[in-house]
């Protein structure tokens, strides 16, 4: 399918809205055509180039944008609001018109089965995001997110994460690529109670990207304010030794108190006592797909 492209210094996620002021002649022409034929266009983050003036090279993954509100000014400028719909991959760029067009492939994003546990986890994640935004002085007045399902809420969270657009684009592309390439049976990720900002981002996006497979959250005691001990896995001495050996390879963290064999062994022994085993690992369950 061929659609017009609007490269921007912004990432549009499915379900998110974006106000745009259209003043360049090439994009006035594009928006005019889209309005006339009731057609969408594509929004892609700019990889190289500028938003205004010269040509811009877009990233390979973007989002279909439907115009949901518009106002045309007497001088031909437009004020529009678009809503993100389907994600797509750019296959080929067409530069025959003043604005870019592209042959695109819409990316499969099937709905998973209803999972109240996953919905609850995503809601808790977003409440944490909102609290952080409010503490930083950002007013959040739209509470329509409370009516969203887990799938839509995942995109909502991604659209308001306090990270640079390049990071958002990397998250969008990387996790989709991981799912398509690996089709993993189980995904291990940080807990959504982890207070580290980078870990929160991975936890939030992981729930959305890997919702079609089993997702287990692991505990990082010094970062977790809360953790649900739900799935215990019994270990023996060789498992603990391999974990110690693996952590010794993490050179940049060797000065940390937790990066030593005694701590790893004692934590595994504590979890083991909870289930009458010598050693154990424990996870928080977000989804089980058998």
Domain presence at residue 99: yes
Which residues have a Cβ under 8 Å from the Cβ of 273 and sit 6 or more positions away? Answer: none
Domain presence at residue 275: no
Indicate the residue among 210, 241, 265 that finishes a domain. Answer: 210
If we measure between CA atoms, which residue out of 282, 287, 165 comes closest to residue 227?
282
C-alpha to C-alpha distance for 152 and 124, rounded to whole angstroms:
15
Kindly state the tokens that stand for 197: 């900002």
Domain presence at residue 277: no
If we measure between CA atoms, which residue out of 105, 115, 83 comes closest to residue 208?
115
- Domain count across the chain: 2
Domain presence at residue 89: yes
Q: Are 190 and 221 in contact (CB under 8 A)?
A: no
Kindly state the tokens that stand for 157: 């969270």
Q: Match 């090279």 to its residue by tokens.
A: 57
Which residues have a Cβ under 8 Å from the Cβ of 229 and sit 6 or more positions away? Answer: 271, 274, 282, 284
Q: Match 């695109």 to its residue by tokens.
A: 104
Specify the pLDDT at position 141. 46
Answer yes or no: do 80 and 159 share one domain.
no
pTM to 2 decimal places: 0.53
Kindly state the tokens that stand for 186: 């189980």
If we measure between CA atoms, which residue out of 76, 34, 26, 33 comes closest to residue 54?
26
Domain presence at residue 251: no
C-alpha to C-alpha distance for 30 and 40, rounded to whole angstroms:
10
- What CATH number is attached to the domain comprising 56? 2.30.130.40
If we measure between CA atoms, which residue out of 124, 133, 117, 5 comes closest to residue 58?
5
- Domain hosting 16: range is 2-106
Specify the pLDDT at position 175. 67
Specify the pLDDT at position 106. 93
Specify the pLDDT at position 57. 87
Answer yes or no: do 81 and 10 share one domain.
yes
Answer yes or no: do 75 and 136 share one domain.
no
If we measure between CA atoms, which residue out of 104, 100, 84, 96 comes closest to residue 46?
100
Three-state secondary structure call for residue 38: coil
Per-residue pLDDT tens, the chain, 290 aa: give them.
Answer: 899 999 998 889 888 889 999 999 999 999 999 999 999 999 999 988 876 767 788 988 999 999 999 999 999 999 999 999 999 999 999 999 999 999 999 987 655 555 666 667 667 766 766 666 666 555 554 566 666 766 677 677 667 666 666 766 776 677 667 667 778 889 999 988 887 767 877 887 787 778 778 999 998 888 777 888 999 999 999 999 999 998 888 877 788 777 888 999 999 999 999 999 999 999 999 888 88
Q: Are 105 and 87 in contact (CB under 8 A)?
A: no
């Amino acid at each position: 399918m061929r659609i017009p492209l609007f490269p921007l210094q912004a990432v549009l996620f499915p379900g998110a809205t974006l106000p745009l002021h259209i003043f360049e002649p090439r994009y006035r022409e594009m928006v005019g055509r889209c309005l006339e034929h009731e057609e969408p266009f594509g929004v892609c983050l700019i990889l190289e180039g500028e938003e205004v003036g010269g040509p811009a090279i877009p990233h390979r993954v973007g989002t279909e944008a439907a115009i949901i509100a518009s106002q045309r000014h007497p001088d031909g400028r437009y004020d529009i609001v678009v809503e993100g719909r389907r994600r797509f991959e750019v296959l080929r760029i067409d530069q025959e018109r003043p604005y870019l067009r592209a042959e695109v492939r819409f990316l499969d994003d099937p709905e998973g089965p209803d999972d109240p546990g996953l919905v609850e986890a995503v809601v808790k994640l977003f409440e944490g995001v909102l609290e952080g935004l409010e503490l930083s002085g950002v007013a959040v007045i739209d509470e329509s997110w409370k009516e969203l399902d887990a799938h839509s809420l995942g995109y909502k969270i991604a659209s308001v994460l306090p990270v640079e657009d390049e990071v958002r684009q990397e998250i969008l592309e990387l996790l989709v690529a991981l799912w398509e390439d690996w089709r993993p049976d189980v995904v291990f990720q940080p807990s959504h109670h982890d207070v580290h900002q980078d870990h929160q981002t991975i936890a939030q996006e992981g729930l959305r990207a890997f919702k079609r497979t089993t997702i287990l959250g692991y505990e990082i005691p010094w970062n977790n304010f809360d953790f649900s001990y739900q799935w215990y896995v019994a270990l023996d001495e060789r498992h603990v030794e391999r974990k110690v050996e693996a952590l010794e390879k993490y050179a940049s963290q060797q000065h940390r108190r937790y990066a030593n064999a005694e701590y790893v062994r004692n934590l595994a022994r504590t979890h083991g006592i909870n289930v009458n085993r010598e050693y154990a690992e424990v996870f928080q369950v977000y989804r089980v797909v058998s």
